[in-house]
Amino acid sequence: MKKYSKETAVGVFVVAGLIAIGYLTINLGDLGVLGKDKTYPLHAHFSNVTGLRSGGVVTMYGLQVGRVGRMTIDPSRQQARVELRIYHGVEIFDDAIASIKTEGLIGDKFISIDPGGSGTLLAAGQAIQDTESPADLMELISKYAFGDVKK
């Protein structure tokens, strides 16, 4: 009888641990399960999104204000369309500028937003019109190394 009580206690402990891990995964991962979506969508078009990944960070004033959503090709504009999942309460104006930047010299890519200040806020689903694609570091180095830089 004592053997079964130890096994039962271990089983209960394992199940409680799995429930705790699941809860933390959903809440810390911003998965939006059970109808709790804490973000609203915006999108932006870039000519080059090399190195940017879904789930990447969106910052404003150096603080995280959202995550990168889906990235697709917009055939009508011949550009990459990036969905931005912005946290509720963050205000972005229609003259905002979205730039793809790099953490450090060779770090991860992220999107930095200059929020603008025109007075007209962007609503969910609208687009940030002004964007800046990242500079291609390898192209710049090769131009410098092979003397193709113009003075």
| Residue extents of the structural domains in the chain | 1-36, 38-134
**What is the per-residue pLDDT across 30-69, written as a single tens digit (0 to 9) for each?**
555 555 678 899 999 999 888 899 999 999 999 999 999 9
Residue 14: its H or E element: helix 2-28
**What is the per-residue pLDDT across 104-120, written as a single tens digit (0 to 9) for each?**
777 788 999 998 888 88
Q: Token pair for residue 100?
A: 């793809």
pLDDT for 6 beyond 80: yes
Q: Per CATH, which fold does 38-134 belong to?
A: Elongation Factor Tu (Ef-tu); domain 3 (2.40.30)
**What is the per-residue pLDDT across 78-136, written as a single tens digit (0 to 9) for each?**
999 999 999 999 989 989 999 999 887 777 889 999 988 888 888 888 999 989 887 77
Give the span between the Cα atoms of 140 and 148, in whole angstroms: 9
